[in-house]
Amino acid sequence: MLKTILLKTLFLLPFIGLSQDLLINTHNRNTTTLNGTWHYIVDPYETGYYNYRYQPYDQQEKNSNSAFYNNYHTDNKMELVEYDFDKSSTLLVPGDWNTQDDKLFYYEGTIWYKRSFDYKISDTTNRLFIYFGAINYKAEVYLNGTKLGVHEGGFTPFNFEVTSVIKPKDNYLVVKVDNTRFKEAIPTINTDWWNYGGITRDVKIIEEPTTFIQDYSLQLKKGSKKIINGTVKLNNAKPNEIITISIPELKINSTFTADGNGNVKFEFKTKKIKYWSPSSPKLYDVYIKTVHQTLKDEIGFRTIETQGADILLNGKSIFLRGICIHEENAMRGARAYNEADALIALTSAKELGCNYVRLAHYPHNEHIVKLADKIGLMIWDEIPVYWTVDFTNEKVLQKAKNQLAEMITRDKNRASVIIWSMANETPVSEPRNTFLKELIKHTKTMDTTRLISAALEKHYKDGINVVDDEIGQYMDIVAFNQYAGWYGGSLEDAPFEKWSIKYNKPVVISEFGGGALQGLHGTIKERWTEEYQEYLYQQNLKMIEKIPNIRGTSPWILNDFRSPKRVLPVIQDGWNRKGLISNHGIKKKAFFTVQSFYKKMKQQYK
């Protein structure tokens, strides 16, 4: 009987939340964390998902007591039930699974997570959402046996409404997480970083009034230093909802009426803004109010644009003194996920003399973006369109657009974010150009105030380094990776290299560098020594300074990071050794080479 009821519930309820209306600024909403210990079942054969005919349980009526998402209490000892979360081990959420259990270090496949919880709603008219900061890679989410939906993409947030499914007691939340790499995924099969699996970011329940502020954007209008504009989107709005935007410190309190769909476009003038910049990261308290709620944010105001070869921040020409960062706490050798991790990375970047970081190669967690806003570092935000994505596949393009949209939705109110990056080292072809053009178009429908770029490549022709990628014409910044003295090219000659760059735009070297095992010493001619790496940096920087229109660099990379591709024993042992800092937190000699270069550039661009 119980089984029949459960099945009926499963089939009668619509899949809730598939529309994926992403809530932003979850840090300032009414939330309850679901971080902590979750039970898990490793399921390489997806036994909890498919029956023996390999048909998914959630698409049929039989055998559902074998589907792991059902909280199948059997008092009948005759019933065959072959799983029990409560007797299974636990993993910490957020966190990757690879580094929490030795058996899972190389695991790629399905793991089921389960957590039970009670929830006392503060007002019965309110609505409830479950929000995931990110799950790598594919997530299928079930609450109390009801499938809430599916999300694909390992580095962006998503949420589902659970108002009609949640109960005051004994909720049974199950997530099937699958980090299997496949050709039609973004990123695709081949990457030079660890494919950490799991619920890698915060999980929370968000409680909102019936009509609530779902999304908004607020920044200086493109081309203006005095006008603030933006949009607010209410969810489930009644006609003529009133929205007030107030910034007390600027004495702003403006009121607008939403259209029938709960959308407002607004614009107002302001005086005497203290502009946000890395040296003065001023954030203003901003309040968005309706009769239903007040939502606070802390927002910085700055302009970013290009003019010929120049990148102008608040109208002033700047040099991007950057560093690339992976979302990894190198010392733990694990996925980074909280503010403490972010602080370690950004403190090192500041010490290096940076005013800018490239968050490679996928959207990092929101903690680091918010921290960059607070402590003053500009950001390059990127989606994992990396290397050999399946550019001819329309579905793959949709996935990339989706990840791009989730990244922009989440981060568009952060002053620190100045660049949306479309891709990294993608091989030039017509389908690739079409793919990237579509992404650029999509970006511009969502935000026109940031600069658009991608890490391109150079090639060598008749003794000259050439950057002439056709897609460059659509970029605000021409960025490319080059590895002189590491993947070919001679270090002695590097400073004398000749360059031909097709576009009169700011040029940024989005990657350069080479590997060294910290503590390994020798001559400048010996690979993997700190001396070789130091010399590589000295010679590369001499070369880079002379590149026409050069306006920034982000060396590869701040810390040594885990990569299954790096198998050289003793030296690599599963680590990409191009860090300026080791995985024990020790600075290599090259760190100081970059540091003194940045001191000089800071003087030059005062």
Q: Could you list the residues that contact ligand GCB (CB under 6 A)? A: 192, 361, 424-425, 481, 511, 556, 576, 578
In the complex with ligand GCB, the residue whose CB is nearer, 190 or 504, is: 190
Min CB(324)–ligand GCB separation in Å: 8
Sequence-distant (6+) residues with CB within 8 A of 62 are 51
Residues, the chain, total? Answer: 606
In the complex with ligand GCB, the residue whose CB is nearer, 158 or 512, is: 512
Min CB(466)–ligand GCB separation in Å: 18
Phi (first) and psi of residue 445, to 5 degrees: -75, -20
Min CB(589)–ligand GCB separation in Å: 18
Min CB(425)–ligand GCB separation in Å: 5
In the complex with ligand GCB, the residue whose CB is nearer, 189 or 312, is: 189
Judged by DSSP in three states, 592 sits in helix
Phi (first) and psi of residue 6, to 5 degrees: -60, -45
Nearest to 108 by CA among 48, 46, 44: 44
Q: Whole-angstrom distance between the N-terminal and C-terminal Cα of the chain? A: 76
In the complex with ligand GCB, the residue whose CB is nearer, 361 or 364, is: 361
Min CB(444)–ligand GCB separation in Å: 25
CA distance 164 to 150: 18
Where do runs of H (alpha helix) occur along 139-264?
A: none
In the complex with ligand GCB, the residue whose CB is nearer, 114 or 578, is: 578
CA distance 300 to 275: 7
Instruction: Let me know: does 562 contact 193? Beta carbons within 8 Å.
Output: yes
In order of 47, 209, 288, 362, 388, the CA distances from 384 in angstroms are 30, 35, 33, 5, 11
Q: Is the dihedral of CA 441, 442, 446, 449 positive or negative?
A: negative
Half-sphere exposure of 138 (CA within 13 A, CB side): 14
Min CB(382)–ligand GCB separation in Å: 10
Nearest to 574 by CA among 14, 136, 195: 195
Min CB(168)–ligand GCB separation in Å: 48
DSSP assignment of 276-288 equals -BTTB---EEEEE
In the complex with ligand GCB, the residue whose CB is nearer, 217 or 482, is: 482
In the complex with ligand GCB, the residue whose CB is nearer, 365 or 481, is: 481
Q: Which helix (H) or strand (E) holds 367?
A: helix 366-375
The DSSP letter of residue 479 is E
Count of C-beta atoms within a 10 Å radius of residue 161? 22
In the complex with ligand GCB, the residue whose CB is nearer, 144 or 554, is: 554
In the complex with ligand GCB, the residue whose CB is nearer, 132 or 193, is: 193
Instruction: Let me know: does 28 contact 297? Beta carbons within 8 Å.
Output: yes
Min CB(23)–ligand GCB separation in Å: 32
Surface-to-core class of residue 590, CB atoms within 10 Å of its CB (0-12 exposed, 13-18 middle, 19+ buried): buried
Structure tokens at 570: 């003793």
Min CB(109)–ligand GCB separation in Å: 24
In the complex with ligand GCB, the residue whose CB is nearer, 17 or 579, is: 579
In the complex with ligand GCB, the residue whose CB is nearer, 251 or 565, is: 565
Min CB(513)–ligand GCB separation in Å: 7
Min CB(192)–ligand GCB separation in Å: 4
In the complex with ligand GCB, the residue whose CB is nearer, 112 or 193, is: 193
The residue number with the shortest CB distance to ligand GCB is 192
CA distance 202 to 174: 15
Structure tokens at 184: 């039609």
Judged by DSSP in three states, 157 sits in coil
Min CB(303)–ligand GCB separation in Å: 30
Instruction: Let me know: does 369 contact 417? Beta carbons within 8 Å.
Output: yes
